[in-house]
A and B are shown apart, each in its own frame.
Chain A
Amino acid sequence: MSDVILQLDSISKKFDGKDILKDFNLELHRNEFVTLLGPSGCGKSTTLRIIGGFVKPDSGRVLFDGTDITNLPPEKRNVNTVFQKYSLFPHMTVAENIAFGLKLKKKSSKYIADKIDYALKLVNMEGYGGRNPESLSGGQQQRVAIARAIVNEPEILLLDEPLGALDLKLRHDMQRELIKIKKEVGITFLYVTHDQEEALMMSDRILVMNKGIIQQEGSSKSIYDEPQNAFVADFIGESNIIDGIMVKDLLVKIQGVDIPCVDTGFGTNTPVDVVIRPEDLEVVSKEEGFLKGTVTSVIFKGAYYEIKVLSDGYEWMIQSVNPAPVGEVVGLTVLPDNIQIMHKPASDDEEVVRDE
């Protein structure tokens, strides 16, 4: 495809004999917002650093616009990075920080001055040009870091957990602003985070990573609605994941009860993982439910109640606008549409990693 701007071609990387990336492939398209999402230590930063040129892969190629740049040093790549720790030069003012890359490119001082103004406006920091980075808040420093990268007009902007050090409120503001900036400058963004909410909200495309391989790739909606394995289901949002048996097409047995579903093609009597989102379960009277269990706790969470129901040794989590009486036996139902059936993991790389 012609609008592929960057391609990682079966990249492998070991650190201290441990596989960090294994035969890793990735394609970035022009003007796309792609997010690498995965738990800590899964190799997200390593992937970015390979693209930025700070880490050499053991094998595989990095192709930029079709050209092999695997051995090109970082300063020669038309890619810029926004670091988690901002990494502003403390001995330069905000304006000097932003001008750093442009001066090296020998741009005219008029051009540089215009660019600084433009970039400061873009990140909502007009009038801060003469300030010292140390006198700025974390959020402001990160804005400057973004401006400093963007003025160089890179083809790809790499962002390694750029909002990781900010508090929740500021994160939300910055997320919206980043999307705005992205729209304005039209640069390809490769964004790293381990915050699934952030990924779901910002990205055109999400790559869910674990243990150096991509578990699933797709739009926010498809990843949330149709996780392909238990790792993705567990990592993206909260889920009930339970063993089941696909009796035949359109019928799955959970906790000894046959429940209609919409999935086909798993064969007969196949062990599977079943995923049901907490908001898709409904508490009903014990006669009406597929499953029966005792309500063990009800917690008010603001917009909904989080209800836990113990049934046959498994604690189901339910999100509901109505509370349920603790200690009572209730029934649970779910629409066939909302049951996700997944193959059992083929390798332990896909093993569910629960709340790290």
Chain B
Amino acid sequence: MSECRLKKINRRSFLASPYALWIVGFTILPLIIIFKYALTDGAGAFTWDNLLSIFSDVHIKAFWFSIEIAAGCTIICILLAYPMVLAMKNLGLGRKGLSMFVIILPMWMNFILRILAWQMILSNNGILNFLLGKLGMGPVAIANTPAAIMVGVVYDYLPYMILPIFNAIMDIDEDLIEAARDLGAGGFTVFRRVIFPLSVPGLLSGIVMVFVPSMTSFVVSDILGGGKLQLIGNVIEQEFTVGYNWNVGSGLSVTLMIFVLISMMFTVKQKSEGKESVIW
């Protein structure tokens, strides 16, 4: 019997082996390589310099700018997501509704194409200024500004904020909302005291899913920032592709990774501690 079980386990692990191979080949191995580069200098000797290079003027500036963009993007996404989700809920648009499809649809389009579309809309003689002109308002110079980058990242990552919040809010039992109204809560109070606190797990997932990628993205700032505005992602990219300094590039990547891991651990810890206290 035990032999039989042994066989079963073997068979199972055999079935899992492509997955293990994948993990080793595409996650663990690259990580090891990155760490090796990060902790050595050009000659191959051990050094902390690459990790500490984040504190150089140019890098720390890009790093702060990235945090600003990511934080701004996250906040704007939150402010946009709640009204949209509540509207969808109040209109009785369920999980399978058309509205969900409309939100998910852009995610199926090529990422670069979406950003290029925004470039055309926001450029100085683009669609936005054309429309503003028709309305008799002056042209705005959004292209190649932080605002343009913000528009791009918000557009890109908004669905990742909407989906978890939507799921959390749709999971709230309608009876709870009725109970709140029964006890005297008007529309906004119901949101503040019941819907919002119960949506916090979704909100935290949304924050992780928006903050992290918007912090590390470089394509958006490349295209909409006109290459002049450097996010930490751009710096890393250039260390690899332009400067050919893989050691510094890897060092910055590792620093960024550590920062992201710490902030995620913080969020996840809050999430498991749960409940209202997280935000208040």
Contact = CB atoms under 8 A, between A and B. Distances in A.
Interface string B186-197: 100100011001
Chain B binding surface, main DSSP class: helix
Contacts of A74: 178, 181-182
B184 A73 contact: no
A271 interface: no
Contact of B184 (A83, A87, A88, A152): A152
B239 interface: no
A80 B179 CA distance: 9
Given A83-B175, A85-B175, A91 B182 contact: no
A81 interface: yes
Q: How large is the interface on B (under 10, 10 to 19, 20 to 34, 35 or more residues)?
A: 10 to 19
A89 B178 contact: no
Contacts of A85: 173, 175
Contacts of B189: 104
A148 interface: yes
Interface in A142-186: 148-149, 152
Interface string B133-156: 000000000000000000000000
A91 B198 contact: yes
B169 to A, nearest CB: 14
Given A74-B178, A83-B175, A91 B183 contact: no
A149 B180 CA distance: 11
Contacts of A88: 179
A87 B197 contact: no
A327 B180 CA distance: 62
B202 to A, nearest CB: 13
A100 B180 contact: yes
A47 to B, nearest CB: 16
A87 B185 contact: no
B176 interface: yes
A92 B194 CA distance: 10
Interface in B197-234: 197-198
Interface in A70-126: 73-76, 79-81, 83, 85, 87-92, 100-101, 104-105
Contacts of B186: 73, 75
A304 interface: no
A9 to B, nearest CB: 23
Given A75-B183, A91-B276, 13 more contacts: A52-B182, A53-B181, A54-B178, A73-B181, A74-B182, A75-B181, A85-B173, A85-B175, A87-B175, A87-B176, A89-B180, A100-B183, A104-B183
16 contacts: A52-B182, A74-B181, A75-B184, A75-B186, A76-B184, A80-B183, A83-B175, A85-B173, A87-B175, A89-B176, A91-B275, A100-B185, A104-B185, A105-B184, A149-B183, A152-B184
